[in-house]
Amino acid sequence: MLSSSSSSSSSEVAAGGISGSSRAAGGGASSSSGGAAARGESSWARAAVRVQMGVAPFQDGQYVRLFNRGRGGYLFADETGRGVSVDHRRGMVNTAWVVQIVETKTSYHALLRGAYGRHLAVTRAQPRPGHVGWSAAQCVFDEPEDTHVMWWTTPGKKGSVVLLHGTSANLGALRANGRYRRWHRCVTVEAINRTRVTSMMEWEVEVIPLRVERPPYQLRPGGANITWCLGSAEFMEVSYILADDNGSTNGRDWVIVPFYGRSLMEMGNELARRLGNGINFQDITLFIQAGNLGQPTLLLTDLPHRDDPVDIVVFKVGTPGHDRLRFPDLHAEQ
């Protein structure tokens, strides 16, 4: 069971967004106070070393980028909404991840939500040829037992961190690929090989500062061709809920809207039209939510190339609830 010091269902503002708007009925995951990290030492199997496993340096509600020491480039939420890769386009929202700290019965864990609200996760899927370990992916967070989205950290070299997944007897580390074959860009999870941790497993954490103004949208060029994922349809189902002026969604109903395409602009215009009262797209801010326990994440780009149902939380600009929001400054200097 996940626990938290924040159980409110209103839009209480964590450092980098909103918390508590989950569709889950009781027992949902929300953030621990201030992102405090509980650390405990644990033995790596087959290794004669002691490893400090916690969530440092992450803090709850932060926006961060993760820069890979081994090959360069940032952890990137692929536009398919499925995979994770390494990319050098630092200013793209796809390189920004929101930190959520959750507490289980045994320890604290870090969750990382990407541009589409989905969580960095480990899978048991084989990666593409030329990649090591198991595929990493973007996944929803539906149940407290969804441990595949939960991570620990341990210190790496030169101030970096190693993102760990699993138990002390069976640990894997998030890693980049393609140190020499640069076209191998996918991110995977590799089992820890005794005491050997390569720089491909080390990630430098860049904290993204916050600002009051919503960042500009990052939309695909007009008329750009979309490469649809196998089996995906152009029509999708969008569910939305309008937060009240205080940012609360308590007692409010979700409305289902059939939607064609993936354009954020077109979806925003359609939702504004349905809200009525002369509301335009520029009068609202949209957050996307992935899973019953997923927290809403600021949506700044077009929807991913997949046709899973999409949940949107709508805030009206100029309301007290919206005024409490803080947004990532994606173009701030390092």
Give residue 112's pLDDT. Answer: 98
Give residue 195's pLDDT. Answer: 65
Q: Are 287 and 298 in contact (CB under 8 A)?
A: yes
Q: pTM, whole model, 2 decimals?
A: 0.84
283 phi and psi angles, rounded to 5 deg: -90, 0
Q: What is the pLDDT of residues 186-203, one digit of tens each?
A: 999 998 865 678 899 999
CA atoms 326, 328, 332, 334: torsion sign: positive
**Cβ within 8 Å of residue 1, ≥6 positions away:** 27, 104, 105, 144
Give residue 127's pLDDT. Answer: 73
Which of 116, 118, 137, 117 has its CA nearest to residue 126? 137
C-alpha 107/C-alpha 229 separation (Å) is 37
Give residue 32's pLDDT. Answer: 40
C-alpha 34/C-alpha 164 separation (Å) is 22
Residue 20: C-alpha distances to residues 108, 175, 183 (Å) = 18, 31, 40
Structural domains for the chain:
31-95+106-209 (2.80.10.50), 211-328 (3.10.20.90)
Give residue 129's pLDDT. Answer: 78
SS3 272: helix
- Total count of residues recorded for the chain: 334
SS3 253: coil
Give residue 197's pLDDT. Answer: 83
Give residue 2's pLDDT. Answer: 67
Give residue 230's pLDDT. Answer: 56
Q: Are 325 and 254 in contact (CB under 8 A)?
A: no
Q: Which residues of the chain have pLDDT under 50?
A: 4-16, 19-50, 223-224
Give residue 231's pLDDT. Answer: 54
SS3 186: strand
- DSSP annotation of 277 reads T
C-alpha 319/C-alpha 87 separation (Å) is 36
**Cβ within 8 Å of residue 47, ≥6 positions away:** 192, 194, 195
